[in-house]
Each structure stands twice: as structure tokens, then as C-alpha cells.
Amino acid sequence: MISGTARRRAQDLAFQTVALLVLCLALGALAALIIDVWQDGASRLSLDFVRGFPSRRAEQAGIWHALMGSVSVIAVTTVIAVPLGVGAAIYLEEYGTRSRAAKLIEINITNLAAVPSIIYGLLGLGLFVRMLAMGRSVMAGGATLALLALPVVILSTREALRAVPMSLREGSYALGATKWQTIWNQVIPVAMPGILTGLILALSRAIGETAPLITIGAVTFVSFAPDSLWSPFTVLPIQIFNWVSRPQVEFQANAAAGIIILLLLLLTMNALAIWLRDRYQKRGLL
Amino acid sequence: MSTPSRPLGPSMPSLSGIATRDRTPTVPSQPPKIAVDGLNFFYGDVRALQDISVNIHPNLVTAFIGPSGCGKSTFLRTLNRMNDIIPGTRVEGQVLIDGEDIYAPGTDVVQLRRRVGMVFQKSNPFPKSVFENVAYGLRINGMAGTRSEVAGRVEESLKAAALWDEVKDRLQESALAMSGGQQQRLCIARALAVRPDILLMDEPASALDPIATQRIEELIYVLKRDYTIVIVTHNMQQAARVSDFTAFFWLGKLVEHDRTDKIFTAPSEKLTEDYVTGRFG
């Protein structure tokens, strides 16, 4: 009996140790990456770099065009993917029946979330650039990334809606609320933190995407920031890739600095979403 | 909801008084508030309720008793069509409320649920303020007038649920911060705010301590002057204390429905007697 307990304790401790090691490995790799990038790129970071445009001379090159490209594309993606994705999830979760067709749709959405992003690039090229004649524009790029983000938005929103207790819905229905009143007043506010978490994940993935945008023809050398939805554009990952592939060592520093800017953009987006989420959580508790 | 601030409790009967207390001596002469005829209920292929027929009388408390899984909660939920939101369920038969079949095609379920309020086993206040919990029903039903009208209705409802004195200084605090008993009374206040005729209560005190339970029972005793109350309980003493009529359910069937004192002292069915004397269940 006693030795059995000792053995189980040892197992417990062993597992805890392994879990800790794995965590350290993951965080360590991330830290090494960030430190390395910082060492390479910090010296290039300056207001001129952020506000600058591409140049053949590495020390004069900047990233403004790509930063603005990324921001515009992700804005288009958000505007398309969030209402469509959240709306589809609400329909599937709250209105849809548990029919065979619904199950088929569910499986397909799950599969879509795992489709390689370049496939979405090909779809975007065929659908938006050619068929809808959007050209190689910010609009086409944002729409393509929206396709990519949609399955993740739908899945995570459904998950968040499913986590809202049935008793809350019943309480609302029992007072004579319609389905929509129940969803809007009770379900969505409670699900909001979960929905926002899903949006963070989906949009963070989209902003780092390169392959689908190259596929639809985002140009690797643009010397201006997009001034409309129909402008040609480039985005940060493409610009970074462009610099990395150059032989001159000075451009490597630019690439590292570009990565830092991309990370900052990502962190800003996440911080905004977390701030929104916390606000909803507080409101939910009041 | 006249004089809702009337003091509670002095006339509460005690348990020992069941046998001798004179309750509603005969079946009331008014037409039944709820008349159920030949009701069958199915979860998928499983028939959960079999051929239930019962009349529920206005301004009295009817208790549904029976062992777990006997269908008493399911039956309660057919009375405001709450089962509609569970996929794969089906109803046969007739439920008349004030003479109208609530399962007739074209019935406005939203309007029905406003008239037939419900309080659940586990209190389920909305994660909002005390005030907003009570005002919610008014807002969604388009009954919210001016600010002061809403405030008046909220106060009136909280008083009717005997909660006003405890929460009047914390109306803007979260409903989730209140005790279990207060939360349940808030759910009652919330149901009363939309002025229903009928109040369905699904084991409203089963998760509460004895003192909170007593307060709910006192409340039921007062509320029946204005409402027709149907309460599901697995606690037979509670049924005996609060109800005028009692219906005993067994395996999805209604075994017996009679005056509460009769059910508990001289039931017609052997099964009822065995159950109320604690021989099974």
C-alpha cells in the first residue's frame, strides 16, 4: 500500500518535471528567437526606418509601405471575416438543426481550418483577382485572408457560444424573449470573451501570412503605401522575405528590424483584443 | 400584485398541521386555469409522458410529486412550451390555458411564455445587475415605458418577491454576488415583473438551505392570491406545506391528482400511499 503511494507520487513528480522541461524548451526557443532578431535588427530601428520607403541602399530603406499594406489588408480581412464568421457561427449553433447536412458542414469547416494557406491563395487568385476583377489590390488580399480566417473564426465562435449555459437561455425564453433577443442580450455578451479570443487567433494567423498573398500577386517591390482599397500593395512578411533573400548583409539587419515591427503590430492587435475582452468580462460580471 | 409589501409568513401552516388543516374543501367551481387532455410527450422515440389529463385550478398551488425521472418536470415544461427548445421532442394531446390550446398552430409562444412565468431548479440570474435582471423582461416585451415606470415595476416586483428590503441599496450590483436564496427570489421577481397569470416552479428550493427554503415557501403562500402556481418538488413535506392540490406522477403517468390533504392522508391509489408514506421513491 505505502510503496504504491510512493510510486504514484514519483510518477506525479516525473510528469510535472517533464511538463516543466517542455515548457522551458518552448519558451526558451521563443526567447532565443526574439533575442537574436533584436540583436540583428535593433540598430536599424528608428523613426526613419518606420516612415521610410524601399531603397536599393539598405541604410535608407524603410518599411512604411509594407506596414500600411499589412494594416490595410488586415482591416479588410477583419471587416469581412468577423461579421461573416460570427454570423455563420450563430446560425449554425443557435438556429441550425442537428441534421445530416449540418454535420457535413461542420466537418467541412473543421477541414477548411486545416487547409494549407497557399490553397486559399489560389482560390483568391481565381475568384477575387481574376473573376471579380479586383486585380492585385488590397481588397483582393484582404478578401483572400478573410477566406483563410473564416473557418477559425466560425469554429472558435461556435465553441464560445456552446459554452454559454443552457440555463441562461432558458431564463430568457421563460420571460417571453424571442430567440434573437435571447441571443443578442444574453448569449453573445457572455460568449464575447471567447469570441474575441478566437478572433485574436484567426487575425494573428492572417497577418503573418505570406504565401497566399504572393500567390495573388502582392508585389514584392512597391515604393508607396496603399492609398485606396484598389491599390497594389505589399505586406510586412513579404517585405521581410524580400530583404532576407538579398545577398548584402545590411539588408539582413533590415529584415530583422522588419520582424520586430511585425511582432509589435501583432502585439498591439492582441493587446487591443485582450483589452476589449476584459472590458466585456467586467461588464458581464456587473 | 396588489399590496405586494404585505408582511409575510404569520399564517404559514406548520408541517404538523397537514392532517387537520382545512384546505380547499371541494374542487373550485371556476373553470380550470389549465386543462390538459390526453397529453403524450416524446424525447425522440421515448415516451416520457403517457396520456396525462389534469385540470389545474386558478389561484391555488398545485404540487407535482414523484420519484426522479417520473416526468413531473417534463410535464411542467410542456405548460409553457419550454420543451420546444430541446431538439427531437414531440407533444401530442391538448393543453388549454384559459380555454385556448397552446399547442394549436399559430400560437405565439413568446406571448405564452410571458403569461406563464417559470422559475428553475437552479437559480439562473443573468450576469447583470439586480435591477437589469428584473427590468429585462419588461424591456424585451416592450413593456418598458419611462425610466421611472421601469424603476417602479422593478421595485414592485422585488417587493412581491420579498427581496426589496435586502437589495434596495444594491440594485446596481451584480446579481451573481447575492446568496443562493436571494438569487432564487430574484428569479421569482424577474418572472413576476412581466405580470404573468401562471407561475411554474421547477423544484425552486431544492438547492437552498432550510431557511432560504422557508422564505420561498412563505412567498408561494402569498403569491397564490394573485397567481396560479404549479410547483414541482421531490420533497413531500414541501408539497404538503405549500400546495392545495397535489398530483403524483409515476413512470410518466399521472397516478392521482386530488386535494393535498387527501393525497397525504387518504389517497385513493395504493401506489400513491406507498410513495407518500416513504415505502419507495
Task: Please report which confidence band the pLDDT of residue A2 belongs to, taking 50, 70 and 90 as the band edges.
Answer: low
The predicted model gives A251-269 an average pLDDT of 87
CA distances for A135 relative to A79, A80, A120, A129, A218, angstroms? 19, 18, 16, 4, 10
Range from A249-253, A255-259, B104-108, B237-241 carrying the lowest mean pLDDT: A249-253
Q: Tens of pLDDT along chain B (281 residues)?
A: 344 444 444 444 444 433 333 334 455 677 889 999 999 999 989 999 999 999 999 999 999 999 988 899 999 999 999 998 888 899 999 999 999 999 999 899 999 999 999 999 988 999 999 999 999 999 998 887 788 889 999 998 998 888 999 999 999 999 998 998 899 999 999 999 999 999 999 999 888 888 888 988 998 998 999 999 999 998 888 999 999 999 999 999 999 999 999 999 999 999 999 998 888 76
Quick one: pLDDT at residue B23?
Answer: 39
The per-residue pLDDT for range A20-62, each reduced to its tens digit, is 999 999 999 999 998 988 888 888 888 777 777 777 777 777 8
Contact B124 A284 (CB under 8 A): no
Residue B40 lies in a domain: yes
- DSSP category for residue A284: H
Q: Is residue B228 part of a domain?
A: yes
Rounded to whole angstroms, the Cα distance separating B1 from B156 reads 8
Read off the pLDDT of residues A158-181 as tens digits, 9 standing for 90 and up.
Answer: 999 999 999 999 999 999 999 999
User: Where are the alpha helices (H) located in chain B, listed in sequence order?
Assistant: 72-78, 109-115, 130-140, 147-160, 164-167, 180-193, 210-223, 236-242, 260-265, 270-276
Average confidence (pLDDT) over A121-142? 85
C-beta atoms of A285 and B127 within 8 A: yes
Across chain A, mean pLDDT equals: 86
Answer whether residue B151 is part of any domain: yes
A106, A40: one domain:
no
A96 CB neighbours in chain B (<8 A) are none
The CATH number of residue B247's host domain is: 3.40.50.300
Judgement on whether residues A12 and A60 belong to the same structural domain of the protein: no
pLDDT band at A84 (very low <50, low <70, confident <90, very high): very high
Q: Are residues A208 and A245 in the same domain?
A: yes
- Residues A30 and A84 occupy one common structural domain: no
Note whether A279 and A250 are same-domain residues.
Answer: yes
Do the beta carbons of residue B204 and residue B119 sit within 8 Å?
Answer: yes
Say how far apart CA A214 and CA A238 lie, in whole Å. 8
Chain CA centroid to CA B202, Å: 6
Q: Output the nine-digit C-alpha cell for B108.
A: 405565439
Same domain flag for A18 and A65 = no
How far, CA to CA in Å, does B222 sit from each of A105, A141, B2? 52, 66, 11
Nearest one of B50, B46, B58 to B93, comparing CA atoms: B50
Q: Note whether A163 and A85 are same-domain residues.
A: yes
Mean pLDDT of A190-216: 86
Q: What is the pLDDT of residue B5?
A: 43
Nearest-CA distance from B126 to chain A in Å?
Answer: 7
When CB atoms are compared, the residue of B87, B113, B129 closest to A175 is B113
Kindly state whether residue B126 falls inside one of the protein's structural domains: yes
pLDDT reading at A102 higher than 70: yes
Q: Can you give the CATH number for the domain in which A269 is found?
A: 1.10.3720.10
Give per-residue pLDDT as tens, B256-272.
999 999 999 999 999 99
In a domain, B8, yes or no: no
A198 and A271 part of one domain? yes
- Contacting residues of A for B117, CB less than 8 Å apart: 174-175
Q: Indicate the pLDDT class of residue A90, thresholds 50, 70 and 90.
A: very high
Range of the domain at B41: 33-276
pLDDT at residue A224 is higher than 60: yes
Residue A3's pLDDT band (boundaries 50, 70, 90)?
low
Here the ipTM equals 0.84
Domain with A161, as residue range(s), is 49-285
Please determine, for residue A65, whether its predicted confidence score (pLDDT) is greater than 60. yes
B22 occurs within a structural domain: no
pLDDT, residue A284, reads 52
Residue of B273, B115, B256 whose CA lies nearest to B191: B115
Asked whether the beta carbons of residue A174 and residue B117 sit closer than 8 angstroms, the reply is yes
Q: How many structural domains does chain A have? A: 2
pLDDT value of position A165: 92
Q: Are residues A196 and A270 in the same domain?
A: yes
| Whether residue A21 is found in the same domain as residue A54 | no
Residue B65 lies in a domain: yes
Which of A175, A187, A188 to substitute to test the interface with B, most B CBs within 10 Å?
A175
Same domain, A132 and A250: yes
Counting the structural domains of chain B, the total is: 1
